[in-house]
Amino acid sequence: MGHMFGRRIAAVHNPTDCMGVDLLECCVGKLWDDWSTDPREVAIEQLKRALVLEGKSKVVLICHSQGTIIASNVLRVLNEDRDLTDRHLAKLEVYAFANCAHQMEKGRIGRLETLSNTLDTVAMLGSCCPYKEWRDVDGETINIEGRKFFEEGKRGHMLETHYLQGLEQGEYAGSKLHDYRKEAKSKST
């Protein structure tokens, strides 16, 4: 991704435990938004540190699959943080691939985009869910804010194979990520 977007990437890795445990973590994280995990706490700390840096005009968060659930909880915490001003949060841009979160509220952040394949079974738990009235434990229906870019009739869930390669081929037209790709290409030539 660093080469694709022409930027240094700092990763917060959410290691897989096994399919069963990962699915359980997804359900718990999706339905109980105050559930804390190590990746969530690391992301909050790293993002806060980057957002308050003077001279830094933009902070970009790219998340995928279960990472979109973690990111939705991170966004809620950051938006509620009284130490972060509107100016700080306006620097943050979030790009959620295969968004399976139940709630992803933009709040005060600068930009929020969801990029999903409509036949991605994981995205069908959130951004592509055919049952928008599905309620979590708080009675909230699925609510994913921000701009949405869907590839109709496209299958596949893997970030590199089914999303980033498609982005390089011009899919998800209108996403700001295309601007970053163009900038990276112009710098490398």
Quick: pLDDT tens for 94-136: 999 999 999 999 999 999 999 999 999 999 999 999 988 888 8
pLDDT of residue 22: 62
Which residues, in sequence order, are CB contacts of 123 under 8 Å at separation 6+? 98, 99, 100, 116, 117, 157
Task: Please give the Cα distance from 27 to 30 (Å, whole number).
Answer: 5
Instruction: Spell out the domain ranges in the chain.
Output: 2-184
**Model pTM?**
0.90
Task: Please give the Cα distance from 4 to 165 (Å, whole number).
Answer: 10
Tens of pLDDT, residue by residue over 156-177, are 999 999 999 999 999 999 999 9
Q: Backbone phi, then psi, for 4, in 5-degree steps? A: -60, -40
Tens of pLDDT, residue by residue over 29-85, are 666 555 556 788 899 999 999 999 999 999 999 999 989 999 999 999 999 999 999
Specify the CATH number for 2-184; select among 1.10.760, 1.20.120, 3.30.70, 3.40.50: 3.40.50
